[in-house]
A and B are shown apart, each in its own frame.
Chain A
């Protein structure tokens, strides 16, 4: 193995004022946005879903200056990283642009990407007051059988698995709240 001769640049907080840079169009600033909360720019076969949630602090208060990114496969389980492709599986939203303090991604339900891997969405969280971003994953409450087989879920303590599963609210909406701290603290990963 090669020796690493350079050391990783340190992480710093995204701060409170990222909106006009990282989510300008969502917040109606006059600057282009390369990504948004709408992953359904092109019509394709698959289940249209919204993934909605809040980022909640240790005092049980929803945070309005968090930034959430999602990375997911298309309904067939393929990742498309081309911004102009059929399904660009990458989204980004701030949590403070509307009356609902949170995120609401318009997307398609992802397919299965590999054997023993249930449908899921990768999620990365940033906020003022967070010096490092946090990684987690969203699974789906109506995929019980697949979830049981999922290798990553099986690495997690049984009592904590439900914290990675979005609840189906209705035919099109799943709810996934991110608890940064406390009794319901979300499970976060170090990849």
Chain B
């Protein structure tokens, strides 16, 4: 047991547990306050290595390809994973999943009437390098309707799951695309309490990183919790 070495979840940037505009939050979250724990044994995150995965797992245009390239606009997503002090987080596992270009998830329970793409699954994974940088190649996902309210459509997004350096430093989030007209109607996006924090969930188009004759590039940086500076670290 030791004193919590991690900065806590910053609730000025995370949604409230119950956000009534997103209806299913009402019965799926506790009404009691979360109990702050000071003393616990910190557990480092799993040490995944490049040996745990294939390079192709970071390329969603290739990892489920059967006979053709998947349909849609090919994009690359690049970014850096850092902590709150700007320190890079190397060897960090990122897993993503998304709809295809028509806005259809391959999940068996998805019933939206849009075509599946036989050459696209929509799942990928990679690790950050020693500088905390990562890269995915994928297809830009479409928007899709959901039953939350009348005429509800999710802005195009990609789900991200990230392991920081400790079991308390866990993050699941969604990356959105610059300029989406659906932001103002989407309760999940708007559950983020701060406009600047919302903006940080939006990947930015980059002409500098765009690869000529190949793919648009989007930049999406991810900030994890910081480890409290100890006197040794100055």
Contact = CB atoms under 8 A, between A and B. Distances in A.
20 contacts: A5-B86, A7-B84, A9-B173, A9-B201, A19-B107, A21-B161, A31-B121, A32-B57, A34-B46, A58-B28, A59-B27, A63-B28, A126-B172, A130-B28, A131-B15, A133-B170, A133-B172, A152-B40, A155-B39, A180-B30
B188 A82 contact: no
Contacts of B131: none
The majority secondary structure among interface residues of chain A is loop
Contacts of B222: 9
B130 interface: no
A6 B31 contact: no
A134 B46 contact: no
B37 interface: yes
B189 to A, nearest CB: 8
Contacts of A11: 9, 14-15, 171-173
B121 A20 contact: yes
Nearest to B37: A189
A173 interface: no
Interface string B125-137: 1000000000000
Given A11-B171, A22-B161, A83-B47, A181 B30 contact: yes
Contacts of A124: 167, 170
Given A81-B46, A135-B34, A155-B39, 7 more contacts: A4-B85, A5-B86, A12-B172, A12-B174, A22-B161, A129-B22, A188-B34
A11 to B, nearest CB: 5
A74 to B, nearest CB: 12
Contact of B32 (A88, A115, A128, A185): A185
B92 interface: no
A58 B43 contact: no
B46 A83 contact: yes
Indicate the member of A6, A18, A57 with the most B CB atoms within 10 Å: A6
Contacts of A188: 30, 32, 34-35
A187 interface: yes
A9 B36 contact: no
A150 B196 CA distance: 41
A42 interface: no
Interface string B212-224: 0000000000111
